[in-house]
Structure 1
């Protein structure tokens, strides 16, 4: 494996800019089956005094079933020159194509057999701590949210403890 293990508590500030300007891949599953998707929303910080990563997945996404049936997920940052892979993983469904094979990714596995890609620059392996559906009744700024949910296909929020990290 090309990536090296690093302590999640010692990630640099630059690594904490994961969701600003870069579109990560969210991957869930295990050694028997998995799926990946490009995500645009997320956050890093602290939750219950643990390093944490928050991601959001719509119920309609194929990755949702993998998030629901596994205790771990990964968030991977690819090099900028792999924009083609991010586009493919953000526009095609794993129900219809093997996105991992189509992108030529090399699968690796972290804690809980959580799948990630050796081609990444940075990988966070997360153990789910909390999940909750987002609903309109809790939206404070309806103007900010309205354009994202015209069909009512709301996201489920997942907060995971970052238990492993890998960097190129």
Structure 2
């Protein structure tokens, strides 16, 4: 296979275009980020990276908390809007279809329409250059009960989650394997 070498860049795809709610119920905002992921299992920890000039950056620095709200194919328009408009002059919870609800453990609101809301408390931050990475403990996870079966097993594949790759949004498709299937005994 022939390859062309490009200069170093952010080419790790696909990514989750998550809507991060921050601030408080009285002064809330939403920022969409794709720079997010899991960094630790015990304790469960995640991160988001936010440009310091963003309105949400100051809210997260002030409260030390945020909620990662997973985006579905039906919420992609909202996620895109929340990523390109500033909370300095736009109330993003006033958008059609987005409802702020009280979180169980943090001051930041959750987005009710999101199938999974991950409540986070910042442990430390690292200024990396263009972005500041907020490394946070996952304090609580809220799941839409419609995604649970009678035994309480989560069926996240029914949520219609979205991904982003190179400036485009995609609905996640069919399952092509499962963890450990390559070595599982038949």
Report TM bin, short chain.
0.7 to 0.9
Q: Encode CA deviations 1:101-155: one digit per residue, 9 max, x unaligned.
A: 02431111221322111100111000111111113xxxxxxxxxxxxxxxxxx11
Question: For this pair of structures, how many residues does the alignment match?
Answer: 131
* d(CA) in 2 for partners of 1:59, 1:83: 24
Q: Would you say 1:44 and 2:38 are equivalent positions? A: yes
Instruction: Please identify which structure carries the higher strand content.
Output: 1
Q: Report the secondary structure of 1:132's partner residue.
A: strand
Deviation at 1:31, TM superposition (A): 2.1
| Aligned partners of 2:21 and 2:111 also within 8 Å | no
| Counterparts in 2 of 1:34 and 1:20: CA distance versus 1, 3 Å | same
Runs of 4+ in 1 over 2 A off after TM superposition: 19-22
Give the TM-score normalised by structure 1. 0.72
Q: Which runs of 5+ in 1 are unaligned?
A: 1-18, 136-153
| Structure 1 or 2: more helix by fraction | 1
Partner of 1:138: none
| CA distance 1:95–1:42, shift in 2 (3 Å) | same
Aligned to 1:69: 62
- Per-residue CA shift, 1:64-111, capped at 9, x if unaligned? 110110021110012211211011111111112111102431111221
Which residue among 112, 122, 128 is the counterpart of 1:128? 122
Bigger Rg over Cα: 2
Tell whether the 8 Å contact from 1:71 to 1:112 is kept in structure 2 after alignment: no
Q: Which residue of structure 2 lines up, in the alignment, with residue 155 of structure 1?
A: 131
**Contact (CA 8 Å) 1:78, 1:119: kept in 2 or not?**
no
Contact residue 25 and residue 100 of structure 2 kept, 8 A: no
Calculate the TM-score normalised by the size of structure 2.
0.66
Does 2:142 correspond to 1:166?
yes
Q: Relative to 1, partners in 2 of residues 1:50 and 1:20: Cα closer, same or farther, differing over 3 Å?
A: farther
C-alpha contact 1:29 1:66 (8 A) present in aligned 2: yes
- Shift in Å at residue 26 of structure 1? 1.1
